[in-house]
Amino acid sequence: MLLLTYHDAIQWLKGFMLICPSKRLLHIECPGCGFQRSFFALLDGNFNKSLQLYPAMLPILLLIAFTILHIKYQFSFGAVIIKYFFILIAVIILAFYIYKIMNQKIFC
């Protein structure tokens, strides 16, 4: 009998993490680097580490949840809220990438 616990499943999934082409070829992190690690940190229950690795993770997950609810319930201002979510996420990603550049954390 195969018994797979939550922790075992997360560890198994970590073996399939994708390698960033920018990081691999140019040795420079892209604005999306850290997303997968942040997601797995969140699944492990490490909220602080998740935010440190990729601060836009929580707004992205909230956007996905809200979009699913909007599709199901057709909120009157749902499209506007989704648009502002996208803007917020873009600002967070850009600000975090500029922070990494200023602190020379983009070079691997």
Q: Which residue has the higher pLDDT, 107 or 102?
A: 102
Q: Is 46 within the bounds of a domain?
A: yes
Q: Is 42 within the bounds of a domain?
A: yes
pLDDT in tens, 9-58: 888 899 999 999 998 999 889 999 999 999 999 999 999 999 999 999 99
Q: Is 1 within the bounds of a domain?
A: no
Q: Is 33 within the bounds of a domain?
A: yes
User: Which residue is associated with the tokens 């997303």?
Assistant: 35
**How distant is the alpha carbon of residue 46 from its chain centre?**
14
Residue type, 81: I
The total of other beta-carbon atoms located within 10 Å of residue 94's CB is 12
Q: pLDDT over 70 for what percent of the chain?
A: 96
59, 89 Cβ separation under 8 angstroms: yes
What is the predicted pLDDT for the residue at 2? 61
Q: Is 107 within the bounds of a domain?
A: no
28, 22 Cβ separation under 8 angstroms: yes
Q: Is 79 within the bounds of a domain?
A: yes
What is the C-alpha to C-alpha distance for residues 46 and 49, in angstroms, rounded to an integer? Answer: 6
pLDDT in tens, 43-53: 999 999 999 99
Q: Which domain holds residue 42?
A: 6-102
Residue type, 36: Q
pTM of the model: 0.87
1 has pLDDT over 90 = no
**How many structural domains is the chain composed of?**
1
Which two three-digit tokens encode residue 74?
A: 């057709």
Q: Which residue has the higher pLDDT, 63 or 7?
A: 63
CA triple 105-88-25, angle to 5 deg: 35
Mean pLDDT along residues 87-97: 98
